[in-house]
Amino acid sequence: MTRSTRGIVVFADGANLADMRALHRAGVVQGFTTNPTLMRQSGVSDYAAFARDVLAEISDVPVSFEVFADEFPEMERQARLISGWGSNVYVKIPITNTRGESSCGIVRRLSADGIRLNVTALLTLSQVREVCGALSPKVPAIISIFAGRVADTGLDPVPVMREAVMIAHALPLAQILWASPREVLNVYQAAECGCHIVTATKPLLDKLSMRGKDLTELSRETVQMFFDDARRAGYQL
């Protein structure tokens, strides 16, 4: 994968096919991530049909699709099915099931069988160590750490992400992904931490065009926005 924004690959996070198609054609991102929540929010009713539509449009960059079972045998069956959908598919495996039981057993089996995984919903360094111990060093993998959710608890995710990159260094084909960014600044923080990938929603991607913008001019544009909106609303005192 090539790198883009300040040395980090940007993946689009979402499940709107029109947006995914437009971003891919524009070359704005270098990959895509989805999950069942995003699909439901986008009105997707047929999981496999949606995946087929996506992969018919996007076949040359990584696309992650997540299993949605909670029992490990069914989770593994779904993972093996999903992995066959395309050569650019990464199968998202949650770090635990809903009972908090580690999924690293199936991560180990799937990775050993050459299946490219995106192990997701990690929040702790102990989880990172466990995943790195389960992944095959010979198979590409993504380790998705939800830095934004770490920050939501009041903790600084930057030290966590820096150490995660160091832990994963022993796996030459594993990439650390900064997930759930809350603002554009997080994209630059992810790059400075040495993360390989950062995800971004469409609104966040749109804001990346503001990099280097003159702050004085941005201040004036903000005042202009307030003025224009007040005039359109017809406010009077």
pLDDT tens digits for range 202-227: 999 999 888 889 999 999 999 999 99
DSSP strand pairing (117-122 vs 197-200):
unpaired
Mean pLDDT value of segment 170-195 = 96
Instruction: Give the domain CATH number at 92.
Output: 3.20.20.70
In the residue annotation, 213 being an active-site residue is answered as no
- Residue 223 domain-assigned (yes or no): no
**5 has a pLDDT exceeding 80:** no
pLDDT in tens, 118-174: 999 999 999 999 999 999 999 999 999 999 999 999 999 999 999 999 999 999 999
Any domain includes 206: yes
Contact (Cβ atoms closer than 8 angstroms) between residue 54 and residue 80: no
Cα separations (Å) of 108 from 8, 119, 132, 190? Answer: 27, 11, 10, 27
Please state, in angstroms and as integers, the Cα–Cα distance from residue 80 to each residue in 52, 128, 150, 183, 185, following that order.
Answer: 16, 23, 30, 35, 37
In three-state secondary structure terms, 14 is: coil
* Domain membership flag for residue 36: yes
In a domain, 235, yes or no: no
Provide the token pair at 165: 């990159």
Residue 49 lies in a domain: yes
For residues 4-21, average pLDDT: 89
* Residue 218 is assigned to a structural domain of this protein: no
Q: In this structure, what are the phi and psi dihedrals at residue 138, rounded to the nearest 5 degrees? A: -100, 0
Residue at 222 is within a domain? no
Q: List, in sequence order, the alpha helices (H) in the chain.
A: 17-26, 36-41, 47-57, 72-83, 104-112, 125-134, 147-152, 157-168, 184-193, 202-207, 215-233
Range of the domain at 129: 9-210
In a domain, 130, yes or no: yes
Catalytic residue among 92, 138, 202, 207: 92
pTM (predicted TM-score): 0.93
Q: Amino acid identity of 94?
A: P
pLDDT tens per residue, range 40-82 = 999 999 999 999 999 999 999 999 999 999 999 999 999 999 9
pLDDT-based confidence at 1, cuts 50/70/90? very low
Looking at the predicted structure, is the pLDDT value of residue 6 above 90? Answer: no
Count of domains forming the chain: 1
